[in-house]
Structure 1
Amino acid sequence: MAGPSRILVPVDLKDGSRSVVDYALQLARPFGATVDVIHAWEPPQYVAPDLLVASPGWDATSLEAMARDTAGKDLEKLLRSVDGTAPVALSHRVVIGEAGNVVLDEAERGKYDLIVMGTHQRKGLTRMLLGSVAQKVVGHAACPVLTLHVSQD
């Protein structure tokens, strides 16, 4: 069995995200694998994503465009902070949609060999209300999924 050549790394941009990306890069280096980091932004259920957001002196912009821009900047900041000692082909993007579905769709579309993602291991009511993106991905992904426990915020 050959090692991975394409690794998908979904991140939520919270505190554990850097350690997940660092781990994926460490896995990728010996195999010369590429790493694609994605962040899924899910529009609020009760607010239209094309709602215009404006304040004095600013151009009005849609909520979706503002969220995508902010998440993109946060993602770039995260990737600037990771260990770059040995080069790995690294790309990143923000995708709109429910996180679990986005990860599964991206993994299938991109023909990834491995998904590396964090899990907060929430329990009880929090898990019931928020669900588990990692559990959904592990249960439905066509490729192996490596989950890493990250601290809860």
Structure 2
Amino acid sequence: MAAPSRILVPVDLKDGSRSVVEYALQLARPFGATVDIIHAWEPPQYVAPDLLVASPGWDPQALETMARDSAGKELSTLLQSLQGSAPVALSHRVVIGDAANIVLEESERGKYDLIVMGTHGRKGLTRMLLGSVAQKVVSQAKCPVLTLHVTPEQA
């Protein structure tokens, strides 16, 4: 198996995202691999994504636009906090849709060699209700997937 040259890193911008990105960057460095970080925002099932959101002093804007902008700022802040590390070709973006499907589609479209992602290790009812993005990606991805168990202490 060849060394990875393109690494996809999906993040949820919650507990442990920073440690997952740091790990992917450390992994990419010796191989000169590029790292693409994505965050998938899934619109609520019972709310239209074009619903206008407003509050005093704000211009009304679509929920999807507001969510994309907010996630984009969080992602930029996360990456700025990692600026001191050795150079790795890095890109990031926010995508709208079901997280697992987005990761699978992006991995094929971008011809990635490796996916590095966190997993919270939920079990039982929590897993049944929330699903497991990592499990779906591991079982359906056409490239290797490296999962890192993320704990709240790693936030």
Name the TM-score, length of structure 2 as normaliser: 0.96
Report the secondary structure of 1:93's partner residue.
Answer: strand
The residue number in structure 2 matching 1:17 is 17
Aligned residue type for 1:64: E
The residue number in structure 2 matching 1:42 is 42
Verify the 8 A CA contact 1:41 1:67 in the aligned structure 2.
Answer: yes
Aligned residue type for 1:41: W
Verify the 8 A CA contact 1:41 1:96 in the aligned structure 2.
Answer: yes
Whether 1:144 and 2:144 are equivalent positions in the alignment is yes
Q: Distance in 1 between matches of 2:15 and 2:57?
A: 33
Q: Distance in 1 between matches of 2:52 and 2:10?
A: 28
Aligned residue type for 1:33: A
Please list, as runs of the form range in 1=range in 2, the aligned pairs for 1:121-132 lying within 5 A after superposition. 121-132=121-132
Report the secondary structure of 1:147's partner residue.
Answer: strand
Report the secondary structure of 1:35's partner residue.
Answer: strand
The residue number in structure 2 matching 1:85 is 85
Verify the 8 A CA contact 1:22 1:83 in the aligned structure 2.
Answer: no
Name the TM-score, length of structure 1 as normaliser: 0.97
- Shift, 1:83, TM fit: 5.7
**Identity in percent:** 82
**CA offsets, 1:70-122, max 9 Å, x none?**
00000001111226321000000000001000000000000000000000000
Extract unaligned runs of 5+ from structure 2: none
CA RMSD in angstroms, aligned pairs only: 1.1
Q: Distance in 1 between matches of 2:43 and 2:67?
A: 9
Please list, as runs of the form range in 1=range in 2, the aligned pairs for 1:37-116 lying within 5 A after superposition. 37-82=37-82, 84-116=84-116
Q: Following TM superposition, where does structure 1 have runs of at least 4 consecutive aligned residues deviating by more than 3 angstroms? A: none
Extract unaligned runs of 5+ from structure 1: none
Aligned residue type for 1:106: E
Aligned residue type for 2:107: A
Q: Distance in 2 between matches of 1:113 and 1:25?
A: 14
Q: Distance in 2 between matches of 1:29 and 1:64?
A: 35
- Shift, 1:43, TM fit: 0.1
